[in-house]
Amino acid sequence: MVRCELTSPSRELPAPGLPELVRWFFRRRKRFRVNGDSMRPLIADGDEVLVDVRAFYHRNPRVGDIVAAKHPYMRDVIIVKNVKSVADNGAVFLAGLNPDESTDSRAFGAIARDQIIGRVTSRFA
């Protein structure tokens, strides 16, 4: 069974405040630069995001989460996408917010839960 909802993610990601920056300093967050327009208007080309690498230690990704994940075919590529659905086996279907500019699960299928790096918590514009 696949859990899928028609909700979209929040249209805003906060700028990192002091608590997020402290977590990044102590390596509880990873920082990534986004290349491309697949997540416009939420995240633009050149924005940087902080990712909570421990977000899914005790829970699975949920529909609407914005996540960083390993690309299933390109070894050194990290993708930032929206969780559209989660299957009972933990496989996650990812999609960009800008479908015309996004290579996502519509092209490569659902990805395994262990390919998810973490949940995006904030962005530097």
What's the pLDDT tens digit per position in 34-59?
A: 999 999 999 999 999 999 999 999 99
Cβ–Cβ < 8 Å for 116, 92 = yes
Close Cβ partners of 60 (under 8 Å, ≥ 6 residues apart): 86, 90, 113
Residue 11 confidence (pLDDT): 63
Is pLDDT above 70 for 23?
Answer: yes
Residue found by looking up tokens 């940087």 in the block:
48
Mean pLDDT of 19-24: 95
Cβ–Cβ < 8 Å for 30, 52 = no
- Identify the helix (H) or strand (E) that includes residue 68: strand 66-70
DSSP state of 46: T
**57 domain-assigned:** yes
Mean pLDDT of 18-27: 94
Type of residue numbered 62: R
**8 domain-assigned:** no
Task: Report percent pLDDT > 70 for the chain.
Answer: 91
Q: Residue 37, Cα to own-chain centre: how many angstroms?
A: 14
**56 domain-assigned:** yes
CATH at 46: 2.10.109.10
Which pTM value belongs to this model? 0.88
**107 domain-assigned:** yes
Structural domains in the chain (count): 1
**47 domain-assigned:** yes
State which residues form the domain around 80: 14-124
